Structure formats: structure tokens, C-alpha cells
Chains A and B, each alone.
Chain A
Amino acid sequence: MPRIVGIDLGTTNSLVAIVENGTPRVIPGPDGSNLVPSVIYFGENGEVLVGNPAKAKLIEKPKNTIFSIKRFMGKGMTDVRNDLALLPFEVSAQSENILKLKIFGRDYTPPEISAFVLRELKRNAEAALGEDIVNAVITVPAYFNDAQRQATKDAGRIAGLDVLRIVNEPTAASLAYGLQEQRQGIVAVYDFGGGTFDVSILKLSEGIFEVLSTSGDTHLGGDDIDEQLMRLVMGESRTSPDPRDFPSIRKATNKAKEELSSAEETEITIPSLGYSRKLTRKEFDTLIEPIVERTLKSCRQALQDAGLKPDAVNEVVMVGGSTRIPIVRNRVQELFGRVPHTSLNPDEVVALGAAVQADILAGGKRDMLLLDVTPLSLGIETMGGVMSKIIPRNSTIPASASEMFTTFVEGQTNVKVHVLQGERELVQDCRSLAQFDLKDIPPMPAGLPRIEVKFLIDADGILSVSAQEQRTGKYQSVEVKPTYGLTDEEVERMILESFEYAEADIEAREVIEARNEAATVLIATEKGLKSEQFADLSAEEQNEITAAATHLQETVKIEDHRAIRDAIERLSQATQRLAEMIMNSAIQKALKNKRVKEVES
């Protein structure tokens, strides 16, 4: 069995982890960091940077440095209009049902952009494990709907991964937590991340992790807190800020937020706006109170759905970076009446849990089993625009339901079906999942055909549909057109296009490596210029060294690793004699010292 990695594809940071000898561990990137910031930089010449190098471009290149893309997964333009107001990205005109960002004249969907992060994690895992990695488990917020889950799976495919399972983040966290502590009883997982909030109530018994209920908001996270602070700054600033100022405002407010997790007060300073103010913990708490209250409302809902009172919960586990905020911890503690667990690193616990689930799938752990639920009710549109529920929320998945459809007119051969997700009564208040036609129905008098449509939600929480005409026993063709998703053909095209990037990625990598080497050579040259041996060189030799060094300094600025390598080569040649002279003198010195020492002994 090839190895399966666990991936936490986060709004702010992403991680990859694996179980080795029964213990999950995070695989760090080449820079030694466990967290790969979910930031993607697109350069003018087609180069793409991911993670920390991309994060470094946020302020300098705001338009083509993409972050928090997870918030746009499975979303259309109308869903995200408010967010875009505070983001510097350019949106394509064709974004109605699937948001597309325009970068250097090309449209990118969120799955394509997320795929860059996944590819980076895949490469990190391959480098660390010394083998090809194809199989992965990827986590999503528990409250993600069908389209958002499908978009995550598409991102995996585009990145060249076979996504064996989509796992809910709070449930993954409970796996890592339960594994470590061998717990039993009722556990509440409060997962407050960069972009999303989830709460799941689980029952742990003898290795079975059974989710009783889940609730949340896929649009509620640290980003909203940042934006709250950004609006405060923008309201108070005397100069009205330009979208180009957003990245530096975001950076400053984010820093203030983080500092207030330990400090009682902090300073927000934005030099470009000439803005500065003190912010106390108390002011901050008042500002974010409504956001925290929304998370607590979800907790109460989840408890009610599980049929439990808060005191029935034995343990509370905190996950996600936003749980570092003191008022968040305090409020959660108040609600459940117990001190929440924070022993596992809230940034890493989801990835570790994903690795545990990957290990279960690989056959490593047969004593553990995760039974998750669907977060939203599934239904179909009936007469009068009413949604009729067929699989209620919090049903254990896989789950299925059958519905009978018939015709209204004699000889009718087509029946339209509209599938929805949500809790509200009216179709217009629910999320449209897909529309499909039951075709090729044998012509019969109205009401006579009996078409049984089977809806199946699989263990990833993703819907599939099949249909059969009961009288003839014939399977009907069902063409499902996702409302907010990519078709299979579109994903295939993106996979093909991504191969170009594989090449562009290699190019970008080589440029970085060449630049690093150039920096080393230039530092050595600088030292050489100051050495006493430099004066012993001929004027011609001296001129060539300075000329070659200047040439290299200029060449590193362009995105061409071959030119940089050539310039390094020229400088190395020019400095060869100088290097030898310095080396010789060093050796002579060493020998001299040695002789002195020998005499002494």
C-alpha cells in the first residue's frame, strides 16, 4: 500500500502530516517550518511562489499575491461581494457561479489556486519521505456544503493527488486528541480558524468516534476579526485609504490582534496613513464580542441537536489559531462550565488527525473508526418553491434516501429535479446544489411512470444521484449540473493546464536557488575585496572582479536562472586566483601557528 498523507488545507496556513510507527507527525518544508502559509504569489513571467516566499510579497505585490482563497471555494460572486471590498484582488467578469480571480489576464478558479498550495505540500512530503506521494486525505470545515467539499476534491485532483477522503476538521482534531489520551465520553470540539468556525459534539467509546451533531459558519474566523479591526482603523484614519493600503492595514491590525492574546494593550501604527492608536484588550474584546457570540450560538445549536445539556460534555477541545484569543477561551469555558483543553498545538492538531485518518484508510489502525455526519439537510424542490427534506442534518454518513417521481403530462419523457442543501423552508433560502433531468422516460399516461431517485451522501459528505424507472426497471440517465461547481471536463482541463505550472514551478525554484548561491558568492567576493591579497592582483584582474560582481548584482534581479548561473560562473573565474592566494596565506598562517604550538609542547 503506497503511503497516504494527511493534509490540512487551511485558510491561513496549510500542513501535511504522516503516521510513522503509529505516531502522527507534521512534515516540515525545506525552510524547516511546519506551517506553509496558504499564500500564492504569481509573478509577471509566469513564476509562482507558495508559502513564506509568497507571504513576503503581500505588501509589495498585493494584486497578484493571493491569500485566504479557501473562503471562495465553491462560491459565486454574490456570496463573496462583501469580502472582496477589503481585498485587493481583481475579479473576472465571468464569476457569477464560480468566482474567478484575474491574474495577468488569466482567470483562476479557487480550486486551481488552492492546488498550488497542495502541490507545495506534496513536494515537501516527497522530499522528506523520498518517494512519490499520490494518496491524500484532505480536511475541510465540518460545515462545508457539497460544493465546497467538491471544490476541495477538485483542487486535490488538479494538484495530482488522489483524494481518498475528505475529513471534517473538528473530527480530525478529535482523532489526534483521542489517540493521544485514549478518552471516552462526550467531547465538544470548538474549531475557530482563520476563515471558518465549526463545533462538533462527539461520543467516544472503545475506539469509535461518533459525531452526534455539528454546527458552524464557513464564513466566520480570524479574518473577520482582522476585518473588524481594519474597519475601525479606516473609520478613524484622517486620510481615506486606497485599496493599495489594505495589505499594510491588514498586517498592522493582525499584529495587534496577536499581541493582545498576551498583552493588555498594544499600538496600531500605519505610517503610510500617518495613523497610530493605542488599543486595549478591553476595547478589542468589546469589538469582537458579536463574533464570539455567533460561535456560542452555534455551540448551543449543536448541543440541542445532540439532545444534550452543556454539563453533559466531559471535555472541550480547542482547535484553530483564533482560540488563542483570551475572550474566546473564557466564553467557551463559561458555556460548557469546564476548562477547555489546549495541550495540543491548535495549528497542528487537524493535520495530525488527518494523518491518523489516512493511517486508518491505509489499514494501519483497525481499532479506530470515525462516524461523521452531514452538516446540512438535503432536500428537493417541490411545488410552490418549498424545500422538502429527504436527509436531515446530522445524519451519519454515508446516508441515503429514495424519492418517487412521476410525470404530469401524458407522454412526458423528462422530469426536472432540483437538489438543495439547507435548513430553511423555502427554496430561495437554501443553497442550490444541482439540477438534473430524468431523461428517456418511457412515454406513458401522466402519473403512471414511477421513477425512483436514490440520493447517496458518501463518507466525504458528497452527493451522488441514481435513478430507476420502476415499471421497466430501466436505469435512467442522470446528468447532474452542479450549480456552484466545476464540471468533470473543466477539472480535466485544469489538470492538463497545471502541467505547465509544474514546469514554471521548477523554473521559479531554480531562480531562487541560483539567487541564493549568487548571494553567497557575492558575500565571499566582498570579503575578498577587503583582503590584503586583493592589492597584489594586477589592475586588469581587479577590474574584472569588480565588473563581474556588478554584473551578477544586476543579473539576480531578473527571473532567469541560466543568466544568473552564467554571471556566477564569470565571477568565480575572475576571483579564482584571488581565492587561491587567500587560501594559501591562510594555510601558511595555520602552519605557522602549528609550529609555534609544537615548539611549546
Chain B
Amino acid sequence: MNYFEVFGLPKLLNIDLKTLERKFHELSRKYHPDYFTTAAPPERQQALQMTATLNDAYRTLRHPVQRVEYLVELEGFKADGSKVPKSFLMEVFEINEQIEEVKAGNATSEQIATLRREIEERAARFDSQLKAVSVEWDKLVESGASEIQLKPQLTKLTEILSESSYIRNLQRELEEKA
């Protein structure tokens, strides 16, 4: 059972978090191991597995980026950062060099703030791209699009995820070093 099926949801990327939480609580009340303490061992084991999957599913679907990552993997794609344009990699490389400068203590607080802003702008750009392509995906799925029609969307989503993962890494690096 995939995570969408756990919640009885179609494979759509726009999920209402309130509804998701309500369903999570509902299913927890049904399957939680606490209610199977006196049951036979196989039933107990099943409750444990079921609840673990439910919790994994909730953790993944609740998070907007992890949700997309999960979907593309489910469809056989992997956002591993290997198919990123060279020009983008150069950009990342330059920012990384600046972070090294911060690490070495050679950056003024103004320079750090500028760097932070530059990275944040890029992150925001990827977020809005991800949102836009997600909306397209949902429209296509709801209109009953074929696998061939969906494939370009998945490729796009995977690319955005790959590139934004570089940016998230840069963000984390900077916060650790600054």
C-alpha cells in the first residue's frame, strides 16, 4: 500500500492539511498498538506494522517537498541531483566559495546578509516553480491524462527537486557556518 492509498487519497499534490490530520487521528484510533496489547501476537505485529506505515505516510505527505519527492519516486524517478544543468552547478559552486569565506571568517555581517538573501531568493523561486508544476500535475491527473502525458510533468518535478536540494544544502551550510 503506498502512502496515498493509506489515506485513501488520489495521487494529487495539493493536500488539505486539516483533512489529512483528521484522517490521521481517525486511522490511529483504529490501528494503534495500544489497542492490541491483549491481542494474539500476529495481530499485535500487524497493528505495529500498520501504524508504522501510517505514521511514515503522515510524516511524508504532511511535508510539501517530501510529498513531491515521494510521488516522483513512486513513479520511478529519482531526484538525486545528477541531471542538473552545468550553468546551475557553476552558480552553486560560486555560492559555496562565498560560504567558505564566511567559514574562514573573511566575511562582514553585511556580506553574510547579502549571501543569505541571494540563497533565499533562489529557494523561493524553486518553491513557486514546484507549486506551479504541482498544480499542473493535479489538473492533468484529474482530467484523466495518460502516462505518456504525465511523464514530462514528472521529469519537470524531478528537475526542480534536484536543483532545490542543492539550494537547501547551501542554506543549511550557511546557517551552520555563519
A contacts, CB < 8 Å to B: 1, 164-165, 205-206, 208, 210, 357, 360-363, 366, 369-371, 395-401, 456-459
Contacts and interface: CB of A to CB of B under 8 A. Distances in A.
A398 B55 contact: yes
B29 A369 contact: yes
A457 B38 CA distance: 20
18 contacts: A165-B37, A205-B25, A210-B25, A357-B34, A363-B35, A363-B38, A366-B35, A369-B28, A369-B29, A369-B32, A395-B59, A396-B55, A396-B59, A397-B55, A398-B51, A400-B56, A456-B52, A459-B51
Nearest to A366: B35
A459 B34 contact: yes
A361 B56 contact: no
Given A398-B55, A400-B56, A208 B33 contact: no
Nearest to B32: A369
A399 B52 contact: yes
Label chain B's interface by main secondary structure.
helix
Nearest to A392: B59
Contacts of B51: 398, 459
Contacts of A205: 25
Given A397-B55, A398-B55, A399-B52, A361 B34 contact: yes
B174 to A, nearest CB: 15
A400 B37 contact: no
Given A371-B28, A458-B48, A399 B34 contact: no
B53 A400 contact: yes
The 4 closest A-B pairs by CB, nearest first: A398-B52, A400-B52, A361-B37, A396-B55
A460 to B, nearest CB: 10
Interface string B24-63: 0100110011110110000000001101110110110000
B52 A1 contact: no
A562 B111 CA distance: 84
Contact of B48 (A165, A362, A369, A398): A398
A371 B56 CA distance: 13
B56 A401 contact: yes
A399 to B, nearest CB: 5
Contacts of A165: 34, 37
A1 B33 CA distance: 16
Contact of B28 (A208, A395, A401): A208
Contacts of B37: 164-165, 361-363
B5 to A, nearest CB: 16
B52 to A, nearest CB: 4
A371 B54 CA distance: 12
A396 B57 CA distance: 11
Contacts of B33: 398, 458-459
A500 B34 CA distance: 35
A480 to B, nearest CB: 18
A164 B38 CA distance: 10
A208 B52 contact: no
A205 B28 CA distance: 13
Contacts of B58: 396
B77 to A, nearest CB: 16
Most buried by A among B34, B35, B49: B34
A369 B59 contact: no
Contacts of A369: 28-29, 32, 34
Contacts of B48: 398, 456, 458-459
A205 B52 CA distance: 21
A304 to B, nearest CB: 12
A395 B55 CA distance: 8
Nearest to B29: A369
Nearest to A455: B52
A362 B39 CA distance: 11
A210 B22 CA distance: 12
Contact of B38 (A1, A371, A396, A459): A1
A456 B50 CA distance: 12
